[in-house]
Structures are given as C-alpha cells and as structure tokens.
Amino acid sequence: MSRLGYAGREMSDLWPRIEPLLAQVEKPARYIGMERGSVRPHHEVRRAAFLLIYPDTYEIGLPNQGLQILYEILNERPDAVAERAYAPWTDMEASMRASGLPLFSVDTHRAARDFDVLAFNLSAELVYTNLLNLVDLAGVAVRNEHRQPCDPIVIAGGHCAYNPEPLAEYVDAFVIGDGEEVIGEIADVVGAWKRGGRASRQAVLRDLATIPGVYVPSMYDVDYDGQFIREVRPRFDDVPAVVDKRTVADLADWPYPKRQLVPLVEVVHDRLNVEIFRGCTRGCRFCQAGMITRPVRERPEAQVRTMVRDGLARTGYDEVALTSLSSADFSGIEGVVADLVNDQVGTGGVSVSLPSLRVDAFSVKIATEIQKVRRTGLTFAPEAGSWRLRQVINKLILEEDLYSAVDAAYSQGWRRVKLYFLTGLPTEMDEDTMGIAQLANNVVDIGRRYTKQASCTVSVGGFVPKPHTPFQWFGQNGVGELTRKISLLRTATRGTRAQVKWHDPRATFAEGIVSRGDRRIGRVIETVWRAGGTFQEWSEHFSLDRWTDAMAAHGLDPDWYVTRHRSRDEVLPWDHIAAGLHHDFLWDDWQAALAAHGLPDCRWTPCYDCGVCTDYALEHVVASPLAPAGGSQGTGQDLRGGADTPVRFLGAKPSGVASMGAPT
Amino acid sequence: MRGGAANPVRLRYTKRGKVRWISHRDVARALERAFRISELPLAFTEGFSPRPKVSFGLALSTGHESDAEYLDLVFAEEVDLGPLSVSLTEALPEGMAVTGAVPLLERAPALQEAVTAVVWQVEPVTADGAPIDASQLAAHVVRALELPTLPTARRRKGRDVEEDVLPFIRRCELRETNPVSVEMELTTQPRSAKPGDILAGIARATDLPGGLAEARVLRTHQWIERDGTRLEPLVADTRPRALEARAS
C-alpha cells in the first residue's frame, strides 16, 4: 500500500475478489449485504467514515439495535458515512487469509482500512478475542502502541465498555453509555482529523478524550501496589479523572431505527424490534444492564404505535417485539398490545412478542391477549430457588406469584413453561439449589391439573459478577462448585417432567476472568487469540485450557480474578468509569443483599438516591405514576417477607420509608 | 380462504447478481415479506398455524442465477395483476424482479411435477477455477455425447452414488460467449440432475485434463411439455384474463 496521505488513497470494491470464495463457504449470504434498509453511502474526504462492527457472526450481530441506530444517525449526517461488518465464520476467514483479502464492509464491500473508525459493539466478554482478530484481519496492528498515525481509530461501546480495562491496550477509545448524542461529537473530531490527512494520532486521541463519555485509555496511567491497583491517573490536565456515562434524557427525541434492516438470511431476533423504554429500576442486584442504564425512560405511547405501524409496513415482517429490560412494566402496555392484536384481524396476522415478561398473572394476561392460538411455551425468570435468595438478589417474586402465573398460563392453554435461574449467587446454599427443583416440580404438578402434556424446562446459567453492580465485590463460584450445584439439581429432577439445561461452568469461569479483569488481562486475551481462540461464545470453539494456560503464561492467578471476594476499599479496575451509581449506594446495597433485604423500584416510590438522577440531573420518564398490581415490585406484596429488620433505604430520606410499603 | 373465490396466480421472477447467494428458503421468506410490503392479500391455510398458500417450482441451488423462476400462489381476493410486477419488484431485494404474472386455473398441476425440462447456461472452468480453452472443451463435449454412458459421482440424500447422467441431457452445446459457456437442456422428470454433475461427467468420461467445474450458472428457461407441445409455465394452465373479471 502506498504511503500517500489517507485522502489520496483509492478505495476499491472488493466484491470481485470476495465472490469466488463464496461457493465454498457455509451461508454465503452472510457476506453479501443487500438488506432492505441498508445504504451504499458515497465516501468523500469531507465525510468521516465509520465501519460499525459486531464481533460475532452476521446472524448474531445484524439485529443489534445499537449498531443499527448509529448506522442511521451517521448516514443521516452530511459529514459522515457508516457501513457494517461482522466476524466472518472460520471457513470464510481461512479463505480470506489464504487469498490476502482483508476484513470488508457488507454494504459496499470496501476494505476496513478505508474507514477512519473501526467501531465495535461489545455485548459479551467472550467476544474480545474476536475483536483482536478482526482488527488484525483489517490489516491494523492489534495493540494501540503499534498503530501508525494514519491507521483507523479503534473504538468500542456497548455494555461491556463499562469495564474497558481488559481491552485498554487494544482499543483506542471507549464510549460509555447511550451512543445517540455522543456519536455526533465523535464524528466532528474524526472528520477534522480526516480532513487534515489523518496527521496526528496523538492529537485526535487527545481531542476524543475531552468528549464527555469518551475514555481514551492511553491517556491514563495505572499504578499498582503489588497485585492491587493503587491509582488510575489521567496523564493530562484536560483529560477527566473519571469518565461519566452519556445518557439520552428523552427517548422521544430518538425514534430509531427508523429503517430497521431486514436481513436476507435468518438471524436471531428476526422480527421488527421496537424499543419501548430504556433503563430499569427493578433493582435486581446481579443485573448490570439494570444498574448502568438508569433512569427509566419510556417512549411515548403514540411514538411506539407509529414505529410499529411504519416498521411493519416498511419491513414486511409479521412479528414485532416490544423490547426493553422488562416490557410488562411499560405504562401503556395493555392498550398498545390490545390495539396491535386487534388491528391485525384479516391480514394474515402479525404476532407480538414481549421479551422479559415479569413473573405475575398480569404478564400472563398480556401474553394471553397476544397469543390467541398456538400457546406452546411461556418463559419466566425467577432467577433463584428460594424466597430468601430472591431477596438477596432483589428479585422479589413470591412463590405464590410464580404459581399463580404458571396456573394462569396452563389454564389458558400453554403446555410448556420455561424457568430461568442463576446459580452461584451470593449466599447460595444447597437448599436454594434444591428449591429450584422443588419449584420446577410444583410447576409441573400445577400444569398436570390442566394437561397431561405439561412440562417445565429449567435453564440454569452460572452467575458472573459484573462491574457497577452491588455484586461487583463478590467472589464468583469456581468451576467445581458450579458443576456440583448443577449435578445436585440434575439429581433432584431425575425422573420428573422437569428438564434441566445448563450453561458450561468453564465458559462461565472464562467470562469471570474478563468481566472484572484489569489491564493485565489484555495480554491474556491476546495470547488466547494468538493460540486460535476465536468465537469463544461458541461451545465448539471454546476451551478453558487456552484461558488458564494464557493466565499461567503471564503469571496471573485465575482465582485472584474470579473467585476472590473484594474488599470495600479495594480500587476496582473500573472505578474511573462512572455509571452514576455512588460507591456508597452499591456497597450498602451489597450489605443489604447479604442481609436478604429487598429494595423497592424507585420509578414508583421515593428516590433512595443511587446517584444517577441526582448527579446527572436526570429523571425517570414514565407515563403512569402508579406501580403495577399494587406494589412497587409489581407482585402485590410488600417488602416484609422474611426480613426481621427494616429495609434500609439509602440516602438521607427516612421520611420516604413509610410510604414505600416498608415493614410493619 | 375466508369463503371467497380462490384466485390462483402464477408468477415468474429472476434471481440475478449478488442475491444468488441466498438459499431457496431465504428466497421464500423474501417473497413472503414482499407480499406484505406490497399489501397483496395472500390466502392462508386454515388451522392453528396458518401458512400462506404459495407453492414453489424446482428449487434453485444457492449460488445459481435464474431468469426463469416460478411461483404459484392464491390470493384471498381478486388482485389487479397489471401493477403487481412493479410493486413486488420494488419490495424484493435487488436482483430479484417479477417479470410476469398470470391468472392460473384452479387445480393446475403443481410446478414441480409439471415442469419437464430446464435450460441452463453454464460458464465452465477447471476444477481449480482456471479458464478453459474453448476449442478443447468443444471437442470433449462432442466426444462425451457420443459415449454410451456418462458415469458421475453424485451426492444424493447425503450419500455419494455413481450415476449415469447421459439420460438427463437433451442438448448440450458450446456458446461463443466471452468467457465461453455451455448451454444445456436437461430433463427434470422423474428426477433432475445439476449442471455441475453434467460437467463432471463430461470431464471424467473424456479425461479432460484439469477437470471441469461450474463458475456461473444461469437458469434461462423452464418448460412444460404435454401432448407433444412445449409451453412456458406462464402459458400452460393459465386462465384467459377476460374470464378473470367474472370468475364466479
């Protein structure tokens, strides 16, 4: 490649070189683009070019709403263009490397190096080796320090960016929080760099570091005290000591995607997806999404209806999902669902799905409304097998709630109930595990009253503590302990109609290494990648040995990272990244968890000052001030259950306690 | 169908360019979405899981192109077939275009049984993908067609079987295109063979150095032969449009 300035380089369509490879690979349509809604933008020097990359297969990555939103927002700008790329499957990657073909965009089949920014979405830790692989496949040095001044800038966002440290040496800049607004500020800085012939990499990184919500790891030094971090310090005065997340105050301002992509091959979530609200304050303590996306911001009901109507007409989909972290909590959910279902009479039908249903009869009622015929399976997520443990995790579902929901489901014609649980939760004992079996068996018994075919699937995932949650200090269960609990559960359900499925505890362990990892884990990720460890989310490609070997090669102790309990005063690797949650709030909530004390949902009750709204001058955007079904946790119960000391509401708001349905 | 008269229709469509890499199943889904986008009222089957009443012709392999794909379907109400091609094409991916629509007789034989021959235009290359010398290839094709059999290793139902592909060949001739192409007409009843099988059979039976493989494959025609006449599927089993107005 010539050493011409960036602007002088010819961009080329690689399609003639890609097409001959396609006859030999699985699912060649992964690589052709051409989705309805996609664009073929015109690249010019005055337009900053973003390649938006999902570091997993096309089928997993295409539906990602975050990337689709950014794709539209950038392409609407006169000074930016955006295209997309996904991880080629191993067969295609081998063909590409054998014929010297770099990573390419699916929109115009342009080489990744022709873009100014390689922007990755990070939704799971085990895809990090794919990120390195894709940067390498793009023809760009994998480590920041080895990149040339004119190389594209490597950016990453998404939920995993809230602990950016494991990729600090591999990603030039991280975006923390909602991307809708900050992407424009980034485009301004990158555009100026591009028009200047991609001259100074240091200068553009420094400019990026001053954008609120952008973290440039090379602008920070990490001091260690033995194994522990002493301090993370910015190297320059204009670089913030703590990077605060970005939050879109009102979802109504961002009705995206307006032109959702319709893939030609089947993908996951292959339907119209309309985000009805963002954020969740149910307060489940294991849930990183619920902690980092606060506050709750509902989309106006009228806008939801418009997006559904226009989206269905434009895409031709016959299914729409109303997405959020807990869709039954949307203020206008009953009306929206009823109208959607009734509007469709006589058109061949559009089905509606609500991911993340609550465990209560109200949710079943809505599901009944949606599923007029063919009621096969319904999924609930009690997450833990006993009321005590559900108080620990603040998923305040009484056993009666579950049974009444299940009874409603079977009585309305459903035949299969699927229950999601986590295992390896803080304070978990064998009686909690046995409680899962007991719940499942009781669920089958209820179902048998209505149909002989009643069955119950129990799906168990190993718990990985996540940054910015009250459980961030908890020592994760090791492989042996998780395996023991799973086999306990399998034994307890043997010979029953309850079927147990579980996630591989070894993959859970590897995820644990990265989830709370620090900068030193970066070299481990690189070693795993160099040993061929791509597609680690795929069981056929995953091997824990690669990870433990890499840890050993770098002199790191996996248990120190995974199974060790952290103390209150330990500097955590992500302490310089802020989701707005006060350290004291998280710690007190962790202590409340250990005491099995629940906490109400603050969108319907007085504020307990977790820090997000007060620090960032935000507020909940909720159409109805009334909590559903008589309680702020939505299940008609107060927060007494079992705890003999009062629930502690954090912050100096004791007067709020009485009105929160607190202990009697 | 909700009581109303059946309105069976036959469509012809293309699959050209990049979209050739989508599977038969993907084509079916793209067409179903296109009907919804165009707000064309497909009739649905009764029962717990209603399916649109559509019936495809012979499947086209992923990677092959076509100017002659057919689809039979039933509309729930009468549809003006005039603007239909334009509106469906607009709703389909680039490279797929509806090029004809005719009213079909009720209970017309299914396309998969009715079609008896298919014409292909194939660009051959060596097994390694290298270009082929046209005059050399011409000699081998002529020689192959004079042989009593053309045994070929084919993959059928997941198994490698040895089969004589000569009986499938109606016609096989070189075309002076650039690059050179082979036009072949193959029978499809009771079973069909793929153009690649024919090329492999020719190369093997005549010891063609380097072997033969397909680079680009285009289906140009499908034919329904009945009572000594050969009909394009848009002509066979179709209702005259005049009857359409007052069918009931």
* Amino acid (1-letter code) at residue A134: L
Cα–Cα distance measured from residue A42 to residue B114, given in angstroms and rounded to the nearest whole number: 47
Query: For residue range A446-475, what is the model confidence (pLDDT) as tens digits?
Result: 999 999 989 999 999 999 999 999 999 999
* A652 vs A404: which has the higher pLDDT: A404
- Shortest distance between the Cα of A326 and any Cα of chain B, in A, equals 28
Does B35 sit within 8 Å of A318, measured CB to CB?
no
- pLDDT computed for residue A497 by the predictor: 87
Among residues A229, A244, A259, which one ends one of the domains? Answer: A244
Distance from CA of B44 to the nearest CA of A (A): 7
Is residue B97 scored above 70 in pLDDT?
A: yes
Q: Does A314 touch chain B (CB under 8 A)?
A: yes
Q: Is A106 exposed, middle or buried (0-12, 13-18, 19+ CB in 10 A)?
A: buried
Backbone angles phi, psi at A43, to 5 degrees: -85, 135
pLDDT for the residue A652: 31
Domain count, chain A: 2
Q: Could you tell me which residue, B128 or A63, shows the higher pLDDT?
A: A63
- Is the domain of A60 the same as that of A156? yes
Nearest to A348 among B26, B44, B129 (CB): B44
Residue A600 domain-assigned (yes or no): no
* Contacting residues of B for A317, CB less than 8 Å apart: 33, 36
Interface residue A630 vs chain B (CB under 8 A): no
* H or E element that contains A124: none
For B:19-38, CB contacts with A below 8 A are 19, 21-23, 25-26, 29-30, 32-37
Cβ neighbours of B63 in A, within 8 Å = 22-23, 28
Q: Specify whether A222 is located in the same domain as A360.
A: no
Are A196 and A286 within one domain?
A: no
Model confidence over A3-49: pLDDT tens digits? Answer: 333 444 456 899 999 999 999 999 999 999 999 999 999 999 999 99
pLDDT in tens, A71-82: 999 999 999 999
Q: What is the mean pLDDT of residues A153-164?
A: 98
Is A449 in the same domain as A560? yes
Taking an 8 Å cut-off on Cβ atoms, the answer to whether B37 and A32 are in contact is no
How big is the CA angle at A523 (ends A519 and A527), to the nearest 5 degrees? 155
Q: Which residues pair with B118 in a beta bridge?
A: B186, B222
Which ranges of A472-570 would DSSP assign to H, the alpha helix?
A: 479-493, 505-515, 521-530, 544-553, 558-562
Predicted pLDDT of residue B42: 93
Q: Is A71 inside a domain boundary?
A: yes
Question: What share of chain A in percent tops pLDDT 90?
Answer: 81
Query: Does A7 lie at the interface with B, CB-CB under 8 angstroms?
Result: no
Nearest to A261 by CA among A47, A67, A22, A55: A67
A301 and A177 within one domain: no
How far apart are the CA of A372 and the nearest CA of chain B, in angstroms?
10
How is residue A577 written in tokens?
Answer: 């990244």
Co-location of A196 and A278 in the same domain: no
Q: Could you tell me if residue A656 is inside a domain?
A: no
Contact: A316, B42; criterion CB under 8 Å: no
Lowest mean per-residue pLDDT among A254-258, A328-332, A479-483, B47-51: B47-51
- Residue ranges of domains in chain B, CATH in brackets: 7-108+238-244 (3.30.70.580), 117-226 (3.30.70)
pLDDT band (50, 70, 90) for residue A632: low
Which residues in chain B (96-155) have CB-CB distances under 8 A to chain A?
129
How many other CB atoms are found less than 10 A from the CB of residue A5?
12
Confidence at residue A332, expressed as pLDDT on a 0 to 100 scale: 87
Answer whether residue A190 is part of any domain. yes
To the nearest whole number, what is the mean pLDDT of chain B? 91
| Mean pLDDT on A647-654 | 32
pLDDT averaged over chain A?
91
Residue A348 confidence (pLDDT): 55
The answer to whether residues A302 and A337 belong to one domain is yes
Residue A372: is its pLDDT beyond 80? no
What pLDDT sits at residue A338? 87
Q: What is the phi/psi pair of residue A363, to 5°? A: -65, -40
Half-sphere exposure of B184 (CA within 13 A, CB side): 29
Res A132 pLDDT > 90: yes
pLDDT band of residue A96 (cuts 50, 70, 90) is very high
Greater model confidence, A179 or A413: A179
Residues A277 and A235 in one domain: no
- Say which CATH number the domain at A508 has: 3.80.30.20
Q: What's the CA gap between A397 and A435, in Å, rounded? A: 14
Query: pLDDT confidence of A655, banded at 50, 70, 90?
Result: very low
Q: What is the mean pLDDT of residues A504-531?
A: 98
Torsions phi, psi of B37, nearest 5?
-60, -40
Residue B242: pLDDT over 60 = no
Specify the pLDDT at position A423: 98
B2 has pLDDT over 50: no
Overall average pLDDT of the A171-195 stretch? 98
DSSP-derived pairing of the beta strands A416-423 and A377-383: parallel
Check residue A71 and give its pLDDT: 98
- In this structure, the answer to whether residues A20 and A89 fall within a common structural domain is yes
A406 pLDDT higher than 50: yes
Global ipTM:
0.91
- Residue A181 in any domain: the answer is yes
Per-range mean pLDDT, top range of A394-408, A415-429, A600-614, A629-643:
A415-429
Outline where A412-478 has alpha helix (H).
430-448
* Residue of chain A whose alpha carbon sits nearest to that of B92: A36
A286 and A167 in a common domain? no
Among A75, A53, A74, residue whose Cα is nearest residue A64: A53
Cα angle A354, A358, A359; round to 5 = 130
Mean pLDDT of B83-106: 96
pLDDT score of A650: 31
Per-residue pLDDT at A233 exceeds 80: yes
Residue A531 placed within a domain? no
Confidence of residue A361 (pLDDT cuts 50, 70, 90): confident
* pLDDT for A344: 62
Please give the residue range of the domain that contains residue A80: 6-244
Q: Which tens digit of pLDDT belongs to each residue from A482-498?
A: 999 999 999 999 988 89
φ/ψ of residue A11, rounded to 5: -95, 145
pLDDT at A630: 47
The whole-angstrom separation of Cα A524 and Cα A530 is 10
Any domain includes A209:
yes
Q: Which of the two residues, A101 and A603, has the higher pLDDT score? A: A101
| Residue A535 included in any domain | no
pLDDT at A633: 63
- How confident is the model at residue A284, as a pLDDT? 96
Structure tokens at B217: 């494959």
Asked if A232 and A278 sit in the same domain, the reply is no
Residues A205 and A286 in one domain: no
User: From B128, which residue of chain A is nearest by alpha-carbon distance?
Assistant: A20
* pLDDT (0 to 100) of residue A43: 96
CATH assignment of the domain containing A192: 3.40.50.2300
